[in-house]
Amino acid sequence: MRAMSRREMLKATAAAGGALAVPGWLAACARGGRETAAEAQSAQRADRALLEDIADTLLPTTAASPGAKAAGVGVTMALLLADCESPEVQQRVAAGLQAFRETCRKSGGAFAALAQPERERLLREVDAAAQEEGDTHWFSSVRQLALTAYFTSEIGATRATRYVAVPGRYEGCIPLEPGQPAWW
């Protein structure tokens, strides 16, 4: 298979749905353009699936509301990352996801295939590193993307929190009953 130029790759991926392809483009550019459009799209789908699995571990399905995967946050996270984050953040997240995949393989396989307790343990470890490093750690960006994508989805806004389309008068202090979700 011949190497594709950057221009050819941009044309091919733009025709296939360019808005979500930016992380794939960045990964291809980091490798000097040695990646085909199909490989870039495959890597993009894998990143989107991993982002969604991470989000679903952070925001799982409970008795009160569906989780992040049910809300379909993977596509939104990829779109927010591609359209709203700087190239530095995009590259940091792409590199962090790749390193995280390696960590998961050492722990027993792909992140999606791991048992829930093992997934939570891995994310706690990554979160501890992110807390030490601050906003420059890739997981800080992924966590914020997951929260934004979930709580702006219909499921997150209407089932995980209380939602009133047209609110009444302002009351600054309303007591919550046990099990009652917070207002949005």
| Model confidence at 21: pLDDT above 50 | no
| Model confidence at 131: pLDDT above 90 | yes
Other CB atoms closer than 10 Å to residue 140's CB: what's the count? Answer: 19
Report pLDDT for 99: 95
Is 104 a domain residue?
yes
Per residue in 88-116, pLDDT tens? 999 999 999 999 999 999 988 899 999 99
Worst-scoring range by mean pLDDT, 28-32, 40-44, 72-76, 107-111?
A: 28-32
The alpha helices in the chain, defined as continuous H runs, are 6-15, 22-30, 37-58, 68-71, 73-84, 87-106, 116-133, 138-151, 154-155
Report pLDDT for 139: 97
Greater confidence, 179 or 63?
A: 63
| Model confidence at 19: pLDDT above 50 | no
Worst-scoring range by mean pLDDT, 70-74, 105-109, 170-174?
A: 170-174
Is 80 a domain residue?
yes
Q: How many domains does the chain have?
A: 1
**Cβ-proximal residues to 149 (8 Å cutoff; 6+ apart), any chain:** 55, 68, 71, 73, 76, 77, 80
pTM, 2 dp = 0.72
Greater confidence, 88 or 2?
A: 88
> pLDDT-based confidence at 119, cuts 50/70/90?
very high
Report pLDDT for 24: 52
Is 68 a domain residue?
yes
Is 110 a domain residue?
yes
Is 32 a domain residue?
no
Report pLDDT for 1: 47
Is 176 a domain residue?
no
Is 29 a domain residue?
no
Is 172 a domain residue?
no
Report pLDDT for 15: 52
- Residue span of the structural domain in which 134 resides: 47-160
| Model confidence at 62: pLDDT above 80 | yes
Report pLDDT for 180: 82
Average pLDDT value for the chain = 84
